[in-house]
Amino acid sequence: MSVAQLAGSEASNDSSKTFVFQNEGHTLGNALRGIISSYPDVQFCGYTVPHPAENKMHFRIQMYQGKAVDALKRGLNDITKVCDVILDKFDQEFTSFNENKVEVQ
């Protein structure tokens, strides 16, 4: 995953940033937006996929306090933890299913 930051105006500061994710779209954008939006220090969080032919996503974070890049890092860490829990649960259920299945004759 490649992430860049869009150039801002002179008035912009560390609390409001737009990040560009290359080779990402709605799958990551919607999940990440859902997680970061729940943080109490986040004023706004949203994303757009500018055009279907372009393989990139613009991700905007505006903070009441703190740095937007810190919220992004926290969100990426939290989404990784969520994925780990889902994978662990899937593996447990798959193992349980295989141990309990009855062979049909």
Sketch the domain layout of the chain as residue ranges.
2-99
| b/e map 47-74, b = 16+ CB within 10 Å | beeeeeeeebbbbbbebeeebbbebbeb
Pick the CATH number of 2-99 from 3.30.1360.10, 3.40.1160.10, 3.30.70.20, 3.40.50.11540: 3.30.1360.10
Check residue 10 and give its pLDDT: 42
**Tell me: the pLDDT tens digits for 73-82?**
999 999 999 9
Q: Indicate the average pLDDT of the chain.
A: 89
**Is residue 41 a contact partner of residue 63, using CB atoms and an 8 Å limit?**
yes
Question: Quick one: average pLDDT of 61-66?
Answer: 96
pLDDT over threshold 70, residue 37: yes
Q: Is the pLDDT of residue 11 over 80?
A: no
